[in-house]
């Protein structure tokens, strides 16, 4: 059973389009995250939800909007895609608490043409 799953795994789209990435976890965790990994492999937090409430909202363009319909899902919607949005996006989940590791999804490679 996949613990944290993301769809799609690859996403190729044109500039200006709107796209969504879905994330689901079956670990019963309270907290979910979106990270962005750039072309230099640097990972940076974008958003975090705890029990469906937004708790971290880093400085990302407001074209990015997370949505958490329930504790097990955290989707990422991106409007008006730009070339610079090309990256790998990782969803992760953990139990609340500082000492619990985060489990990552397989990543979604977004390419904007």
Partner 1 sequence: AQKITQTQPGMFVQEKEAVTLDCTYDTSDQSYGLFWYKQPSSGEMIFLIYQGSYDEQNATEGRYSLNFQKARKSANLVISASQLGDSAMYFCAMKGAGSYQLTFGKGTKLSVIP
Closer by beta carbon to partner 1, 57 or else 80: 57
Residue 34, interface with partner 1 (CB under 8 A)? no
How far is the first Cα of the chain from the last one, in angstroms, to the nearest whole number?
34
Cis bond before residue 8 (omega within 30° of 0):
yes
The encoded tokens of residue 91 equal 């969803």
Residues 91-110 that bind partner 1 (CB under 8 A): 92, 96, 98-99, 101-104, 106-107, 109
Residue 23, interface with partner 1 (CB under 8 A)? no
If residue 32 lies in a helix (H) or strand (E), which one and from where to where?
A: strand 31-37
105, 91 contact by CB (below 8 A): yes
The residue from 13, 50, 65, 86 that contacts partner 1 (CB under 8 A) is 50
3-class DSSP state of 54: strand
The residue from 15, 20, 27, 44 that contacts partner 1 (CB under 8 A) is 44
| Site residues (vs partner 1, CB under 8 A) | 31, 33, 40-45, 48, 50, 55-56, 88, 90, 92, 96, 98-99, 101-104, 106-107, 109
């Amino acid at each position: 059973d996949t613990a944290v799953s993301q769809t799609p795994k690859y996403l190729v789209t044109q500039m200006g389009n709107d796209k969504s990435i879905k994330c689901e976890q079956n670990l019963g965790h309270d907290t979910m995250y979106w990270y962005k990994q750039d072309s230099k492999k640097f990972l940076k937090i974008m958003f975090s939800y705890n029990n469906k409430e937004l708790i971290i909202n880093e400085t990302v363009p407001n074209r990015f909007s997370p949505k958490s319909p329930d504790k097990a899902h955290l989707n990422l919607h991106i409007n008006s895609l730009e070339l610079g949005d090309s990256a790998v996006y990782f969803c992760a989940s953990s139990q609340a608490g500082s000492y619990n590791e985060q489990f990552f999804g397989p990543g979604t490679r977004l390419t904007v043409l």
